[in-house]
Amino acid sequence: MDNPFTPPLTHHSSNVQQIIELMLRGLDKRYPLYGFANHANLSPVSFARLFRQKTGYSPIGYFIRLKIQRACELLETTEMTVGAIGESLGYQDPYYFSRLFKQLTHFSSTQYRGKMRGEARILTEGG
C-alpha cells in the first residue's frame, strides 16, 4: 500500500541512493546527520543540501518517514505492540514514537491498525 508520507524514491544521485539503502538496512538504528554525510564523503551541509534537492526531504526527515512506513507495515501485518514496533525501529520511548507516528500519519497507531484491517476485511469480503 502506498502511504501519503512515503518519501519519493526516484532519480537520486548515487551518493543519495547509497544513503537511502543504508537507511533501509538500518531502520533499527539512530543515525546523526554527520553519520550519513560521512558515508557519502560529504560535509553535513553539502550532504543535506544534495539530499533535499534529490528527495525533497532532509536526510533525518526522510529516515524518520522510512521508519514510520515500516511501522505501518508492521501494524498491518503483525500483532506486535506499538512499544515493540517502536523499539524495533530504534525508539526507546514508546510515547515519543506514538506521538511521532500520529504527527506523520494523522492517526494513532491503534486507529491506523484498525483502519487498515477494516479495509483489508472489506476487500476480502468483496465489498
List, for residues 105-118, the tens digit of each pLDDT value. Answer: 999 999 999 988 87
pLDDT for residue 4: 52
Range in 27-31, 111-115, 119-123 with the lowest mean pLDDT: 119-123
User: What is the value of pTM for the model shown?
Assistant: 0.83
The phi-psi region of residue 111 (left if phi > 0; otherwise alpha if psi is between -120 and 50; otherwise beta) is alpha
CATH class of 14-124: mainly alpha
Name the band, by pLDDT with cuts 50, 70 and 90, for residue 1: very low
List, for residues 42-79, the tens digit of each pLDDT value. Answer: 999 999 999 999 999 999 999 999 999 999 999 999 99
Q: Where are the domains of the chain?
A: 14-124
